[in-house]
Structure 1
């Protein structure tokens, strides 16, 4: 076909335009944190995700084997056994005086002497068993409140957790290590101690702990001296009277230590119940810096 309406030559189609390859996107972890806050550091902040009116749930860091627990029941059991030990210490002192009187009045009556020895020996065995039971329950209670104290406060304790038991059974050091263990637990449990304090050495010990420990050591030393005299065989009247006197003084000191120990158990349980059950890693640092309270 010719003329103005004749078709022109065919136009080839334009080739498909593909986007040119550019650099690969860089890895930006902050973008992932904004998109998925679950992976962000704030996930470990219990205060940021927990309503104020609820008890904070357990954060996954740092890993722990247990959470806060109330140790009032264990403390009550320890207090009851401590009271039993106190009663038996007076019974032991009475048996020493009874042996002294029997030996003074019936020195030639072997049956009465044997009966007095039987009473004294039986009470000694019962008192030893009660002391062992009270010590075991008290140390278990102390171990568990130490767990709570380590979560209340970041401050470093003077001894590792194993010394909660070891401080009582290691010779020589058992005259002051247990007091320092208790001092650190009381300091970390006190609501006045900031959660982020670096060390507990700066916190002074309480007068209650000092009084309890001094009376306990005095009673322990006197009781050991009296027991050594019995094992050596006090066959003289004066020796029996001296043993009875020392047993009486030991019972007085043990009673004072027992009363103070019961008050200490009650006081420490109250401190841990009054302090909010919030772990130290979920608490902001104190501002201004911590000033140890006077005790």
Structure 2
């Protein structure tokens, strides 16, 4: 069996007298998936760290509401830790988003190799769908669903994975976006100790949810990458001549 992790290869030669439509060769998404595995793992760690810092703020606010004594230095330290976590989250988010979009475009292009014209959303939407306001809450999922179907080996009962993983990933992505916006707004508008405590609790929920979403995104990337590699291997075996006994 040939290893498709580093190879690229094109569609089978035409069997008719006219030229077939151009199909870009398969390009392995393995390297990008490996990078995303590291980045999403880092995201989980940074999010959990941020959630711990949020919990620290919540604890300090709770002590103040209970009549306890909280030093100004503790409040300053807690605020600084949250700021550091925020910078780390933004840096990791930017890096992860760039690599993810490149991977997403790669697997979308590979979908045409598996089944030309099977995707209603053209390959450019693998990038553009993320930047359409409001519609970016469902357009990328539509692209992902079409790529998932094109990458499924329908000839093998054992290779028909349920789309549940993809659906959970997307539901968590949308939930994280919504909860994050509400939590950020509450934190920015907090004017008293009670409101600050409530906002810190919401931020803790948002960061924890983001960590879970990153974990499922990692699983989704690895699963779809494996599906494409397996199907590409099967396609290559059909294209290449088999050795004679």
Q: 1:226 aligns with which of 156, 180, 183?
A: 183
Where structure 2 has 5 or more consecutive residues not aligned to the other structure, the ranges are: 1-10, 156-161, 240-245
Identify the structure with the greater helix proportion. Answer: 2
User: 8 Å contact 1:149–1:189 — kept in the other structure?
Assistant: yes
Q: 2:210 aligns with which of 250, 254, 257?
A: 254
Alignment of 1:81-120 (within 5 A): 81-103=39-61, 104-105=63-64, 109-120=71-82
Partner of 1:133: 95
**Larger relative contact order (C-alpha < 8 A, sep ≥ 6)?**
2
Partner of 1:67: 25
Following superposition, the deviation at residue 47 of structure 1 comes to: 6.7
Report how many aligned residue pairs link the two structures.
Answer: 216
Q: Verify: 1:46 aligned to 2:13, yes or no.
A: yes
Following superposition, the deviation at residue 260 of structure 1 comes to: 2.0
Following superposition, the deviation at residue 45 of structure 1 comes to: 6.1
CA distance in 2, matches of 1:231, 1:91: 20
Alignment of 1:275-286 (within 5 A): 275-276=231-232, 278=235
User: 8 Å contact 2:51–2:208 — kept in the other structure?
Assistant: no
Q: 2:84 aligns with which of 122, 127, 140?
A: 122
Following superposition, the deviation at residue 124 of structure 1 comes to: 0.5
Following superposition, the deviation at residue 152 of structure 1 comes to: 0.9
Following superposition, the deviation at residue 231 of structure 1 comes to: 2.4
Q: Verify: 1:211 aligned to 2:168, yes or no.
A: yes
Could you say what secondary structure the match of 1:179 adopts?
helix
Q: Verify: 1:241 aligned to 2:241, yes or no.
A: no
CA distance in 2, matches of 1:255, 1:134: 13
Partner of 2:140: 178
Larger Rg: 1
Q: Verify: 1:264 aligned to 2:226, yes or no.
A: no
Following superposition, the deviation at residue 215 of structure 1 comes to: 1.5
Root-mean-square deviation over aligned CA pairs: 2.9
Q: 1:152 aligns with which of 88, 99, 114?
A: 114
CA distance in 2, matches of 1:47, 1:155: 17
CA distance in 2, matches of 1:143, 1:71: 10
User: 8 Å contact 1:97–1:241 — kept in the other structure?
Assistant: no
